[in-house]
Structures are given as C-alpha cells and as structure tokens.
Amino acid sequence: MKLTVRQIVVAGLLGAIAILLGATRLGFIGPFPPLLPVSATIMHVPAAMGETDR
C-alpha cells in the first residue's frame, strides 16, 4: 500500500482534529437526554472528510 504525500498529511491533520475533539469533549454533543452520560458525537466527521478528500 503506497500513500501519497498529500494522503499522509491529510490523514495526520484530520487525526489531530479527532484527538482535539475527543480530548476537549467538543466532539460530544450532550448529555442527551440530560443527566445521563449519553452523548451524540461528531467524532466521525474527520474520518468522513478524509474519505471524501482521497
């Protein structure tokens, strides 16, 4: 499997966004419903964007 330089860079930067969203909890929307630790998430967005940018 050979990755191009752009693929390497995009994967790295989107990985950084995923780490950031998880570490700061900005990637979690909730709790939903209130009082329960169940959150909706947008953590999958970097992965989806990486796939569309290939």
Partner 1 sequence: MEDFELLRHVTIGQYFPTGSPLHRLDPRVKIIGVVALVGTLVTLQSASGVLIGLVITFALIALARVDVQFALGGLAPALQILVFLAVLQLVFGWSARVTNCHSLWSFWLLNVTTCSIQAVVVLLARFAALFLLTGLLTFTSTLSELARGIEWLLRPFQRVGVPADELAMVFTIALRFVPTLALEMEKLLKAQAARGANIQSGSNPVARTRQLLQVLVPLFINTLRRSDDLTAALEARGYTGGAGRTYYIRLHFQRADVVALLVVAALILGLFALPFGMFDQSVLNMLATK
Q: Which is nearer to partner 1, 37 or 51 (CB)?
A: 37
26-45 residues near partner 1, rule: CB under 8 A: 26, 29-30, 32, 34, 37, 40, 42, 45
Q: Does 23 engage in binding with partner 1 (CB under 8 A)?
A: yes
β-bridge mates for residue 41, sequence order:
28
Q: Does 54 engage in binding with partner 1 (CB under 8 A)?
A: no
Nearest to 30 by CA among 43, 39, 21: 39
Q: Burial, 27: exposed, middle or buried (Cβ in 10 Å; 0-12, 13-18, 19+)? A: buried
Q: Does 11 engage in binding with partner 1 (CB under 8 A)?
A: yes
